[in-house]
Structure 1
Amino acid sequence: MNQAPRPGDTDVVLFVRSLGHRIAGGTRAVLARANLYASLGYRTSLVVTGLLDDDGAWARSQDLLHPDVRLLVLWRDGPDAVDRARASETAPITVPRIPDGPGVRRRRRTVDDAVQVRTFVDDALRTIELLDRDTETTRQLVVMREDGSRAAQWMFAHGTLVAVDHLVPGGGTRRREFVVDGRAVWLEAEVAGHVGEGDARLRLREEPVGDYAGAIARWLDTTFASAEHLVVFADGENVWQRSLRLMRHPRLRGVSVLHNSHLAAPYTAAAPTHSGWKGFFSDTTNVDVMVCLTQRQHSDLLARYPGLPLRVLRHAAPRPKVRGVRRDPDSVVFIGRLAPQKQLDHLLRAFVLVRERVPRAHLDVYGTGKDEAALKELAAELGLELGVDVRFHGGTAQALHAFAGSRVAAMSSLHEGLPLTLTEAMSVGTPFVAYDCNYGPAEVIRDGENGFLVPRDDVEALADRLVQVLVDDKLARRLSRGARRVVTSFSARRYKESWRDLLAEVAGRESSSSQTIARS
């Protein structure tokens, strides 16, 4: 190993999908790392592969993004001078808006910080347009088919068209067209699935680039062509992992980070590897280190793939900055995606049992996702009154405040990595009751000391432990004190040192990995 290069001589690249007002735990973890490296003097770039229409202004205003972190946005920075020159010779793309006329009517309503305009033709919904509430510029336009399904989604930044998704009936596959200057499609890609294997081509050049991940890899190779030292972090089981492996930069070093379980159903240690991860474990081209967040996952992976360059590095618990929040002694809180992995139906059924024994209790749910409507319907079917017994608050940018305002937090997931919500809740003294699923909860929760672990899928046991915390003030105070100790066991100092040392080690390697590991 060579001596590590100086931070100022090293480019560090990380990926996020977007930087909207509802930033999930995985994105927060990436931002924390980007901010750390920027503060240490590394030339740090954050690659945004989704839509970003405010140039990161909101994230910076919330102190989520270090001022020295450079943003690279695929739709904005991907087209080069040749693409822009060719696009300038074409007329702007016509947006399919419906003009006023017979049978046309529009309904307007405010949705969060935007205005939604639904256009009907002869009582059939044809378009849904989202406008900026202050400027009335278009953010998004959804075009409907005659059968009521979505045909296409047009996306805008500062009122200019930047991308169009063409949707296949039934969901799943979509063809995305990236638009330069509102005039021409410069990149067309099939973005079905999450690893970026669909066909892609540069339309203005009539040039194939393999697939979507390959297009991103090619862009980054070009963007960082002059980099003396380049370290790329790919987080999650997605297109970024494949892009890292497809890059051909001669001075590239790579770090692959797992945020979730690598297991498929039934998510036990003996379960098969999830299809989204199989290829990434067998092909470690450009991957010098693969990071998992828990010791248990590390052991399971080594047993299955003995040659993986594995390392365990964990998140840090935040130093709480919450002031003036009153803890509601009757509140059970959940924060996370409203998605099948979280098994919120289990939590709702457990809460019915809780309410039978603690009638004053209520469940506060923070998050958004495709299961929201079904969960609200289930809550009603179970006899839980929406807005009283169960309150769906939508997404929140103030997770610590939500946790600090509740007596106990709950998690009923099928599987996890090491979700930030565990340490966030405990940092403000809110104990957790969680299923003992692979892998995260047991890494943080000490049963009976700072919360409770219950067998996965045991709804009654989940309810019993929640009731204990709600009715026993002495127990709740003891668990709360234990929970606050997470800021020591998951200290910010240890986090900074471990991720700093990892980057220095990888950047100083003489050559990067390029190998294929056979499955054991």
Structure 2
Amino acid sequence: MHRETVFLDDSPKVAWYSYLTGCGAAYFIQWVDDSGKPVDVFVADSRDSNAYIRYSSLSDAQENWFHSEVAEIGAPVTVMLDDCTMASVVKNLTSTGVRKIAIYHNDHTTEAHRAMNDAMSSWDVVICSTPGQAKALRKIVPQELRVTSISQPIPDAVQDLSGSSREADKFAFFGRLTSVKNVIPLVRSFTEVLKCLPGASLDIYGEGPLEVELRKVISDLQLRGNVRLMGHTDEATVRMRDYAAIILPSSFEAFGLVIGEAMLNETPVISFDSDYGPREIITHGVDGVLVPPSDFSALAKSVVQLGMDPEFARRMGKEGRRTVLRRFNSDVIMAEWEKLVDDLYRSGGHL
């Protein structure tokens, strides 16, 4: 499905948005008022190809769609929600035989998750990616609500590592260029790395709102020869194989999929010991390196240590791959999900 924007005649003002199916038919249309605010929604009537049903808002349309789908499928139905914008819609599903699972993939304390948190009493189970976050969530949910963790699977898409061109003094960052990822302080701290490893390089993969400021910092610190902005890549797991280590200085990582992907490619990760994923995935000094949060001096020292001891980095990388294959393979994670859903229905919705 893709969106088509329709403008008023000879005007830059939007009249409506049409969401089209692959064959070009308008599945639903959202009108826009004079201020640019979306208003009425018209959804194609599945019973009449020439008719549309009018709703006062997108959430009303979504709620109607959910109820009609549940009625058509019949009990039992499991609804898994990981989209905060749909929380109020799913909250109102009260049909017998419906089980509702809320999934947190990110920081539950942010404003973005308020709708999910406000609907807590309506969930049957709350799932997050790590035991650490599950423990934190239990402090804010109703006592009778079960909170548990199921890790994200890390598919083993690596076929052959023999062609990697790993270099001892090449490092990389993969992630959004945002404040929570601490990419600007990372670049500043890389000047300390260069004092011990003058030929070291840092490649930064990703896009985000801090890109302009980041370019200025790199220029002001005269790091253009050592720090490169690589932009977005669809081949992150392949590129990771070329580096001595991946650096992850985030203030928060609910899981940290990039950690697992790097480890799977035998590339060790140097990460802050931040909530919650890094400390759940990495065993410090065995299959990766954990650094006290916000300690960029210690982070730089860890980068230097791996850069000066490529054999240690190699052993750590191999151990990291073994960790991922043992703990985060798809079969293991899927079995956990199947057991959870089975238990949910066997218990009548209360675990």
Q: Structure 1, residues 419-445: CA drift from partner, whole Å, max 9, x if none?
A: 211111101111111111111110011
Q: Structure 1, residues 478-502: CA drift from partner, whole Å, max 9, x if none?
A: 2112211221122333112101222
- The answer on 1:242 being equivalent to 2:88 is yes
Counterpart of 1:492, as a letter, is: S
Partner Cα distance (1:452, 1:352) in 2 = 20
Q: What is residue 377 of structure 1 aligned with on the other side?
A: 216
Q: Structure 1, residues 326-347: CA drift from partner, whole Å, max 9, x if none?
A: 2233321111222222121121
Q: CA deviation at 1:279?
A: 4.9
Q: What is residue 139 of structure 2 aligned with on the other side?
A: 303
- The answer on 1:175 being equivalent to 2:12 is no
Q: What is residue 259 of structure 1 aligned with on the other side?
A: 105
Partner Cα distance (1:163, 1:384) in 2 = 48
Q: CA deviation at 1:234?
A: 0.9
- The answer on 1:443 being equivalent to 2:280 is yes
Identity of aligned residues (%): 25
Counterpart of 1:239, as a letter, is: T
**DSSP-derived class of the 1:407 partner:** strand
Matches within 5 A, 1:102-117: none
- The answer on 1:280 being equivalent to 2:116 is yes
Matches within 5 A, 1:28-43: none
Q: What is residue 140 of structure 1 aligned with on the other side?
A: none
- The answer on 1:395 being equivalent to 2:232 is yes
Please point out which of 190, 193, 210 is paired with 1:351: 190
Contact 1:221–1:247 under 8 Å retained in 2: yes
Q: Structure 1, residues 78-130: CA drift from partner, whole Å, max 9, x if none?
A: xxxxxxxxxxxxxx9556679xxxxxxxxxxxxxxxxxxxxxxxxxxxxxxxx
Distance 1:507 1:356, change over 3 A: same
Contact 2:165–2:241 under 8 Å retained in 1: yes
The TM-score, its normalising length taken from structure 1, stands at 0.57
Q: Structure 1, residues 368-422: CA drift from partner, whole Å, max 9, x if none?
A: 222222222222222221xx42222222222210211211011111211002111
Q: What is residue 419 of structure 1 aligned with on the other side?
A: 256
**More displaced 10-residue stretch of structure 1: 243-252 or 484-493:** 243-252
Distance 1:286 1:341, change over 3 A: same
Please point out which of 498, 509, 515 is paired with 2:336: 498
Distance 1:395 1:167, change over 3 A: farther
Counterpart of 1:381, as a letter, is: D
Matches within 5 A, 1:159-238: 175-176=37-38, 186=42, 207-209=55-57, 212-228=58-74, 229-235=76-82, 238=84
Partner Cα distance (1:355, 1:362) in 2 = 9
Counterpart of 2:113, as a letter, is: W
**DSSP-derived class of the 2:340 partner:** helix
Contact 1:154–1:163 under 8 Å retained in 2: yes
The gaps in structure 2 that reach 5 residues or longer are: 44-51
Distance 1:510 1:347, change over 3 A: same
**DSSP-derived class of the 2:219 partner:** helix
The gaps in structure 1 that reach 5 residues or longer are: 1-51, 54-74, 77-91, 99-142, 145-150, 169-173, 179-184, 188-203, 264-273, 514-520
**DSSP-derived class of the 1:465 partner:** helix
The TM-score, its normalising length taken from structure 2, stands at 0.82
Q: What is residue 181 of structure 1 aligned with on the other side?
A: none
Q: Structure 1, residues 292-317: CA drift from partner, whole Å, max 9, x if none?
A: 11111122222343343211111223
Partner Cα distance (1:466, 1:366) in 2 = 18
Paired positions, count: 334
Please give the root-mean-square deviation of Cα atoms over the aligned residues, in Å: 3.3
- The answer on 1:289 being equivalent to 2:136 is no
Partner Cα distance (1:97, 1:465) in 2 = 60
Q: CA deviation at 1:466?
A: 0.9
Contact 2:6–2:15 under 8 Å retained in 1: no
Partner Cα distance (1:446, 1:155) in 2 = 50
Q: CA deviation at 1:471?
A: 1.6
Q: What is residue 79 of structure 1 aligned with on the other side?
A: none
More helix per residue: 2
Q: What is residue 485 of structure 1 aligned with on the other side?
A: 322
Q: What is residue 247 of structure 2 aligned with on the other side?
A: 410
Partner Cα distance (2:203, 2:77) in 1 = 44
**DSSP-derived class of the 1:226 partner:** helix
Q: Structure 1, residues 224-272: CA drift from partner, whole Å, max 9, x if none?
A: 4211222111115x21333321334443211111112223xxxxxxxxx
Contact 2:177–2:209 under 8 Å retained in 1: yes
Q: CA deviation at 1:154?
A: 6.8
Counterpart of 1:497, as a letter, is: A
Distance 1:480 1:511, change over 3 A: closer
Counterpart of 1:411, as a letter, is: L
- The answer on 1:327 being equivalent to 2:163 is no
